[in-house]
Chains A and B, each alone.
Chain A
Amino acid sequence: MIVGRREWFGKALIAQLPALRRYSRALTGNPTLADDLVQDTIERALRQWEGLREINRLSSWLRSILHNLYVDEIRRGRKRGYEQEVTELADDLALSTPAHDSSAALDFVRAVDTLSLEHRQVLLLVGLENMNYRDIANELGIPIGTVMSRLARGRERLRGALEGEKGRRAAARPVETRELRQ
């Protein structure tokens, strides 16, 4: 039996989907949009998979596709039920935490949501995907120093939002066009 590369790619793609979906939810804070983005990522990956030369970078490649699609969504100004979705995600996550901790979980999700896209992205790649700085720099195509400064600023803003100090200034979600320019 000869297994085609296409078939094997399909299996590898399926194996990556749980982690990609998790990342998408954390990045967007919006479960519906997150699943739409994963679905669109699947379509694009199936169209472009032959351009993937580095098999050990599949997860990075998929995240890059998803991120680009998300930026497109932001550019198009897609905000469908946004606030409601963030609350929904926060509620979902809070439900999975001990009752005494649920309000802290809600605060945390909302605080993450105040961060710019770039800051959320780096925080998640370090904290959720457990990637090192060098690999993040390679994935994002930026110097390691930029990864470090984005991470430091992102964590400080998250802390500030949680403490309710800078949080009030950052409470209004950053203007999306500013996110794209940063």
Chain B
Amino acid sequence: MTSPATIRDEELHAFIDGELGPADRVRVEAAVEADPKLSEQVIAFRADKARLLSLYGGGLNEPLPSEWIARIEEASGRKPLPRTAWAMLALAASFVLVLSGTIVWRQLGPVPPDDVVADALAARSLEQRPDHVVPVSSTRDIAAESAVMAKSLDTRVKAPDLSRMGYRLVGIDVYSAAAPSFDLRYTDAHGRAVTLYIRRSPGSTRFDILEMKGLRVCVWQDNIISTVVTGRMSAGEMERLASLAYSGLTL
């Protein structure tokens, strides 16, 4: 299937996929409107694209094989059970000591001034005033702001959907003074607020769930982005929420 000399095949498909810049889009659109054969091609390719999605796009709600879930849970969480009750008690005692020490350190340890957690908390409390406040009221707003965020942070991220846990995105505070950062504000039906703070990572990795200033704070940082989720909730709820936020960041 060929296109007129002025429109390359690759351009035609980029037009179909919305990948052209404004000037090229206008040029290809004009050519398509002027050429019935080209117009037929576009219709056919669009129909094929839609059919591919309609045929293969289902199945997301199909139950997963239970052995997959069991294997992942076994590998990612549970330790092998000790063979004797004494061994079990000893192990439990050692865990209590280690974990309680860790929790105390994490609750009371000083926060470095340039720490992403400190900045996330300052953004949440509005101690640091945002450069822009973007209200969000529609999926179109979310898509547009996700695009801005991805461009500013130069990585593939989008505002995660937390509706499964009852939270709705209501606004995004944008900080652009030093380094671009975004504080995504969510609320639930009871007015409880959750924030998701995102900015570029300094390059190191970090993972923590903390309790600070009466808030549960979860920080996950890789070598590309730093994310901090804050809210008033139990550690278990934060764990689920942070997992949902993390999964939702992936496009």
Contacts and interface: CB of A to CB of B under 8 A. Distances in A.
A and B: interacting chains = yes
Interface of A: 1-19, 21-22, 25-26, 35, 38-39, 42-43, 46, 53-60, 93, 96-97, 104-105, 108-109, 112, 123-124, 126-128, 131-133, 135, 138, 145, 148-149, 151-152, 155-156, 158-160, 162
Interface string B212-251: 0000000010111100000000011001001110110111
A135 to B, nearest CB: 6
A18 B48 contact: no
A16 B244 CA distance: 11
A152 B13 contact: yes
The 5 closest A-B pairs by CB, nearest first: A10-B76, A1-B235, A148-B10, A26-B56, A152-B9
Contacts of A148: 10, 13-14
A126 B10 CA distance: 14
A53 B222 contact: yes
A56 B1 contact: no
Interface in B67-83: 68-69, 71-73, 75-77
The prevalent SS among residues of A at the interface is helix
B44 A159 contact: yes
Pick the most buried of B12, B54, B243: most chain A CB atoms within 10 A of its CB: B243
A86 to B, nearest CB: 13
Contact of A38 (B68, B235, B242): B68
Nearest to A61: B250
A1 B57 contact: no
A35 B57 CA distance: 16
A12 B156 CA distance: 17
Pick the most buried of A6, A8, A25: most chain B CB atoms within 10 A of its CB: A8
